[in-house]
Structure 1
């Protein structure tokens, strides 16, 4: 049971990471900042996502 739940959680995090990367690439921000955020999210999927939610978009 734990393995299936862990796999589902990983799939959800992966899908959200892909959505966030698309949002970053489509943003009007400077290319260097975009590249940095994408690298953070690719190297640290869950932590990068949380950091982006806290410090990324200024809506």
Structure 2
């Protein structure tokens, strides 16, 4: 049963990360900044998402 919850949680994290990627790409930030934010979320999916949510670039 724990495996099922882990899969659902993983899908939620994946969906949130994809949402963050879209918002980063649509933001007015520089290209270098966008790349750094995306790399942070790729390598640290949960922590990177939380940091982006608190301090990341917003849509233009």
TM-score clears 0.5: yes
Q: Which residue in 1 is equivalent to 2:46?
A: 46
Structure 1 ranges of 4+ moved more than 6 A: none
Q: Report the TM-score, using the length of structure 1 for normalisation.
A: 0.91
Residues 1-59 of structure 1 aligned to structure 2 (within 5 Å): 1-57=1-57
**Root-mean-square deviation (Å):** 1.4
Give the paired residue count. Answer: 59
Give CA deviations for 1:3-40 in whole Å, capped at 9, x if unaligned: 10011000000011001001001111111110000000
Query: Which protein, 1 or 2, shows the higher relative CO under an 8 Å CA cutoff with sep ≥ 6?
Result: 2
Q: What 5-or-longer segments of structure 1 have no aligned partner?
A: none
